[in-house]
A and B are shown apart, each in its own frame.
Chain A
Amino acid sequence: MSLYFLCLILFCVGLYCVLRKRNIIKIIIGLVIIEYAVNLFFILIGYRTHGRAPILSEDQVIQNMVDPLPQAMVLTTIVIGLAVTVVLVSLAIRIYEKYGTFDITKIKRLKG
């Protein structure tokens, strides 16, 4: 149970970072932290105490195995997360070229 709680705290840390930080790079890092918290949560869902890998072989009887589906999903979300991070970082580089700063309070040409 405490693992789930720590996972929630990690999520909140990331959320705080996205909402409160002014530096673009820190915001990106915050987003990545949230994503890892969610990934961790998925792994925890599938985890069974003393469970083992669910590989079927002839001479073994597996009593207790971890759920493989969340792991497959986490692989997908890691790839998606990578794509989002790439987009964000390349945007950050271009923004720095144009505005000369990473401070979001100084990047505000759009209004209304």
Chain B
Amino acid sequence: MKTANIIPFFVIIPLASAFLITVFKNRPKNFSDFVVILATFSLLLLSLNSLQLLNSSKMIIYKIGGWLPPLGICLVVDGLAGFMLVTVNLTVFLVMVYAIRYMQLYTDKWKFHSLFMLMLAGMNGIIISGDLFNLYVFLEVASICAYALVAFGTEPEDLEAAFKYTIMGSLASLFILLGIGLIYCYVSTLNMADISFALSAKPNGALIGFVSVLFLAGFGLKAALVPFHAWLPDAHSSAPTPVSAVLSGVLIKTLGIYALSRVFFNILGISGNILLVLIVLGMLSMVAGAFLAIVQTDVKRMFAYSSISQIGYIIFAFGIGTPLAILGGLFHLFNHAIFKSLLFLNAGAIEYSTGRRDLRKLGGLGSKLPVTGATSLLGSMSISGIPPLSGFWSKLIIIIASVQAGYIGFAFIAVLVSIVTLAYYLKFQTFAFLGKVDETLTKIKEIPMTMKLSMVILAGICVVAGLMLVPLFRPILKSAADVLSSGTGYRYAVFEALK
């Protein structure tokens, strides 16, 4: 039972470091950098350790205050949560290494660090929460910090984007809250496993349909699925680069996709209609995101639209619903977290040394910024699905799964979108790194060592992530996918683990 004691630290460490940073600000010098790197690194080690522990037991449960769930609140780490924890903490650690130097472009770095740590506490909290209302609270903690971080630069564009994001985001949260209220009113419990039990004992009324719609709108807005995507390109392109990298890389996945799949697959129980809705939303996001990305000239805006498109792939894979498709979707989620944060960091490096983001005013940077050029080439190839990089494998699995499930037309569209993806990443490569050096760009400053380091590590992960499919590492993905494909079997697993 001792192993469960590590779970609360996923929330305690970032919360405590946010508090410490706010108290000590920047005295002694660079104190906040030190705390943040230490905290995120220890979280990364902890999350890897939790994967190790999951090998022996399928599920670890921490009971807050010793109260048994349904009565008390519990924190649950199962295969899916462990996988998400590693994805989040790995990305955040590398982004924070990058931010050491990059955030010197801004004033009040400690405020950035403190908000960032609070956001991390929220994200980790969502992943480990075993209680529906706690999930909402952590979701709001993460969201509010994200709103503030988008406005961190306080330029007019940042404020405008942050305002839009805040209105849309809090509307989404209120939909989710209303859904939680209706569920509580129906089954009189908030524990996820217990809700699932109570729902199975009751007839499947119209209420569950209504709640599903509320959750779909709420989490769909958080995940920026296509009819609800309008805030994402503004918010993700206006935020400071480390923030956009984490927003695009992991925030929309934990707040949107993880919460959505946990609620629909494990609690409400998935039905054919919801799967169909997920497929349609996924397809729409995939196609619309790709075609909107291709016309963009702002680097970060292009990447933001590309995020919408790739999120579409993941949701489409979940919508197919076969175990293979879910495995592909989760693998793509991990890969997207890695290469999208890498690409945003590349865009940040370009902005750091040249001060521009407009593709038409860039050119020939390949010789000036060799590390950025090489890593962004790897990232672009990976996201467009060139073998043997990671993005190829995950897209391949999704497409194979959709053909197996009989969605041949959709599989064809997925391949086409992949080609469009290649097209706009080629556009990015050509405009930014190839061609003649613009005269105004001959004297640009080289990017610092720490920024290079984190980009190189991310690019390295892009290259080797395909190895997650070999039998040695496959159990990690497999156990994560099993949680979703077992559906409402989650409730038996929780009560089994409690005994």
Residues of A that sit less than 8 Å from B by CB: 11, 18, 24, 27, 31, 34-35, 38, 41-42, 45, 69-70, 73, 76-77, 80, 83-84, 87-88, 91-92, 94-95, 98-99, 107-110, 112
Contacts and interface: CB of A to CB of B under 8 A. Distances in A.
Contacts of A95: 156, 159-160, 163
30 contacts: A18-B171, A34-B174, A35-B170, A35-B174, A38-B174, A41-B181, A45-B181, A69-B184, A70-B184, A77-B177, A80-B137, A80-B144, A80-B173, A83-B144, A84-B140, A84-B144, A84-B166, A84-B170, A88-B170, A91-B151, A91-B163, A94-B151, A95-B159, A95-B160, A95-B163, A98-B159, A107-B160, A110-B234, A112-B233, A112-B292
Nearest to B164: A110
B446 interface: no
Given A38-B177, A84-B144, A87-B147, A109 B166 contact: no
A2 to B, nearest CB: 17
Contacts of A31: 167, 170-171, 174
Interface of B: 133, 137, 140, 144, 147-148, 151, 154-157, 159-163, 166-167, 170-171, 173-174, 177-178, 181, 184-185, 190, 233-234, 237-238, 292, 295-296, 298, 301
How would you classify the secondary structure of chain B's contact residues: helix, strand, loop or mixed?
helix
Contact of A87 (B156, B161, B166, B295): B166
Contacts of B174: 31, 34-35, 38
How would you classify the secondary structure of chain A's contact residues: helix, strand, loop or mixed?
helix
Contact of A38 (B166, B178, B295): B178
Contact of B157 (A34, A45, A109): A109
Contacts of B173: 80, 84
Contacts of A87: 144, 147-148, 166
A98 B162 CA distance: 14
Given A31-B170, A83-B140, A87-B166, 9 more contacts: A38-B174, A69-B184, A77-B177, A80-B173, A84-B147, A84-B173, A87-B147, A91-B166, A110-B237
Given A41-B181, A87-B147, A109-B156, A76 B163 contact: no
Q: Considering the complex of A and B, which 9 residue pairs feature the smallest CB-CB distances, nearest first?
A: A98-B156, A45-B185, A80-B140, A110-B234, A95-B159, A84-B170, A91-B163, A94-B159, A83-B144
